[in-house]
Structure 1
């Protein structure tokens, strides 16, 4: 399935400045989210994740970031999609983000200097506290759909997007 805002046109020669990851742990009808304390998106609710380190794969990156941000080890991560972000303001780098989902982990989610974790019922995800794009792709992912999406932002305001989903 394809969803677009009107007139969406992604730049043909686009390449990301940063490769990043996000993880969403879902179990027993709840999703593990964080209140991000610093960096891009500070103050927003999101999943844990972050930037690749040299030589890392997407999976290695997301597992490391979740361990650093929440002090847990995810045991069943699976990649669900890719998000591409372009920012018109010029102060935020272009980002390609690999998104993972899991249901199993060891340890107890704990607050760190980077993130404050909390569980939210899946039907009560606080989209109003998240990046605007999340409301477009996160529901599809929670239904088990894989996705690829492109978003253009001006600061934290979404200007345009394209989303393609498929059954897992």
Structure 2
């Protein structure tokens, strides 16, 4: 399977932040933002794999700047690295004040997607060829993130098993 350029998966969208999208502080609901993040990342992963994909994980998201009502939020996503059947997708979230044109990076995050065949089973994905400095930086550090996610997943399974066994309403 031939590797693909990271730029081939690039997906970009903008969302106008309206009052019904905000909390009592007049800033974008985090959950609504995460819906858009997952959606744009899924498009990037699908472009890379050219198959069905499913979200396997979302790394931590630190909201560094609020996104205000009346602004636009621009989301950019692309596949940074691929393992056998999984892909790491990087998402950059930028707020734009539509009246002044000022733009600020609000947060970034990584998501992991798994490619699926028509039977719903994991299938191989192409490798990634980074070209830009940013793509190379993300590609070069991806395997470390992959190993941290793998350990976190193992810890989560152990944690869930303990919780499930101690719940009196479960048999």
TM-score range, shorter chain: 0.3 to 0.5
Higher normalized helix content (fraction of residues): 2
Give the structure with higher Rg (CA).
Answer: 2
